[in-house]
Structure 1
Amino acid sequence: MLRIMYGKSTPTATNAPEIIVMHKMLKRFLMVMRPGAFLVDRYPILKYVPGYTTELEEWRREESQVFHDQLDRVSRELATGKAGPSFARYLLENQSSHKLSDDEMVYLAGSLFGVGLDTTAVAIMSVVMASACYPKAQEKVQEQLDIVVGRDRAPTFDDYNSLPQIEAFMLECLRWRPVTPLGFAHLASADIVYKGMCIPEGAAVFGNHWAISRDPSVYPDPEQFDPERWLNSEGKIRDDLKFPSFGFGRRICPGRHIANRSVFINAALLLWSFKITQDPENPIDQMGFADGVVAHPKPFSARFQPRFGDEGSLRNVMAKYGEGL
């Protein structure tokens, strides 16, 4: 995400100041987004009480400074001809056409970086968990990978449309264990009458992803992990079945395409490279997720066995990965 957004990479997250501070801000964000986390959510008049929002304002200033620093760095690199490809560079080079202010660009790039850093990682962990817990579903994905990709090269983004089994596996992971079980708050901009009930203007509304994912009229046997539910009789992704993994309407996640592609390439490379199984001595708790706006899996064990027979063969293929792309 750091490279995509700002054209910068780091060998380890533990020593990267941008990632360290972002994780700190993400913890604050997840706390603030919990329904009723602050009394001001229920009693808006409190925002006029002197000093009440001091802490929140300090958090906002710190967040703004981090995001501004990143965009400013890319701007300096752009001026000296040292900027590599990145979303921030694209924003800066096209500001006159997209007409975003500096603050809007700062928060667009910063928000995508922060949210992608967290939610996409959670989605990939769910892919690993499901692979270990449902070996038959994993095998179907690997059968298609062997047919389409083979063993002489690794899968790439060019294989996306030829690997519906992986897309179905991804879609089922996002339904089976929603990344944001409750979704994010929306605001009713007017009184809404729904099934005889009035949702008053100004009310906070949550599209409960967990409840939607468990609707048996849409997803039969909803507790069962079944990627095949997303495929039609021709083995292609159904266009009549959806799940709101990225939210709704105007406020739908702007980074959903990046997230989907990121989860796809990680899932494809992992399942092409390894057979993932549970550790018999440490079985996976499939309901082991931390309570929160984003459902982080609790630590679990999984075994990765190279599908090439030995680690050396896998390393030889991956050493050439990206050549000619």
Structure 2
Amino acid sequence: ETHDDSQAAGTAAAPSVVPDALKRIPVKTQDEREAAVLEKGIKESSATGYAAQTTSSLYIFLLAMVLYPEVQTRAQAEIDSVIGETLERLPDWDDRASMPYINAIILETLRWFPVAPLGYYIPKDITISSYARFMARNPDKYPNPTRFIPERHMSKVVEEPSTHGPASDDISFVFGFGRRICVGRHVAEASLFAAVVNILAVFRLERAPGWNVGPDAEGVEWTGGLTTHPVFPCIFTPRHRKERVSQLVKMQC
């Protein structure tokens, strides 16, 4: 069944970017094989959009660790208390409830710089979309909003360790609202946890020589597009022997 057949039968997906792009494929001027390649590309590009947001959040986390070494030190102490200072194993999903500060870092990463800071001037009486960047920088709700302060989320992740994801936190607005909320938010947040906790377990992130940017991240270069992430130099220094890390990675594969 083609996309046009689905629309005629009333079973097509609700209006959105992907169905609209599929509808625009000039099938009459292409053979079936070429049309199939285009359709596959459109669908995969949509999935790439979800992955891009998680990647952008990871860049922002790395920036925070470089600018706030004291946060990184506390986070690594928490990880070491769970898995052992000698890297007895790599952290996994089951460790999450035992790492409230890591969870707070993830929430603060999502708040500090929302990766899709869309916002426009809209005339009166026109439906608008929320401006996540403005909401995340509201000083009445988040004192010193330009600073990366995971402690602002600690009461939430400690009181409700089983519901520490952004879907249940007061920063869920970074994923949108209602029926339009990001459908991949749970996967994105889980992927971010896995990346954050393993990077901190294995590496120490350090500022590159000559790179002088303050804690407010003013002067950092940012990419453009639907999602955005910082561009900056940094140094990854192993915290453990390379052989030990390689051994643990192979054990988990």
Give me the TM-score of the superposition, normalised by structure 2.
0.73
Deviation at 1:117, TM superposition (A): 2.6
Counterpart contact for 1:213–1:243, Cα < 8 Å: no
Deviation at 1:250, TM superposition (A): 0.9
Q: Which amino acid aligns with 1:171?
A: L
1:301 and 2:237 correspond = no
Counterpart contact for 2:110–2:174, Cα < 8 Å: yes
Paired with 2:193 and 2:73, the residues of 1 have a C-alpha distance of 16
Corresponding residue for 1:61? Answer: 25
| Runs of 5+ consecutive residues of structure 2 not aligned to the other structure | 1-16, 27-34
Matched residues, percent identical? 30
Deviations 1:161-199 (A, max 9, x none): 2212111111111111110112699x9xxxxxxxxxx95
DSSP 3-state at the match of 2:155: coil
Deviation at 1:282, TM superposition (A): 3.1
Paired with 1:302 and 1:235, the residues of 2 have a C-alpha distance of 31
1:246 and 2:138 correspond = no
Paired with 2:221 and 2:67, the residues of 1 have a C-alpha distance of 13
Corresponding residue for 1:139? Answer: 73
DSSP 3-state at the match of 2:230: coil
Q: Which amino acid aligns with 1:125?
A: Y
Q: Pick the aligned partner of 1:214 from 137, 150, 153.
A: 137
Q: Which structure ranks higher in relative contact order (CA pairs < 8 Å, sequence separation ≥ 6)? A: 2
Root mean square deviation of aligned Cα: 3.3
Listed as ranges, the matches of 1:1-325 within 5 Å are: 60-61=24-25, 65-66=36-37, 68-69=39-40, 111=46, 113-150=47-84, 151-182=87-118, 200=125, 203-232=126-155, 235-236=158-159, 241-283=170-212, 286=217, 287-298=220-231, 300-308=232-240, 310-322=241-253
| Runs of 5+ consecutive residues of structure 1 not aligned to the other structure | 1-31, 33-55, 71-105, 188-197
Paired with 2:186 and 2:169, the residues of 1 have a C-alpha distance of 19
Corresponding residue for 2:4? Answer: none
Paired with 1:145 and 1:159, the residues of 2 have a C-alpha distance of 9
Deviations 1:116-153 (A, max 9, x none): 23111111111111111111111111111011122210
Corresponding residue for 1:80? Answer: none
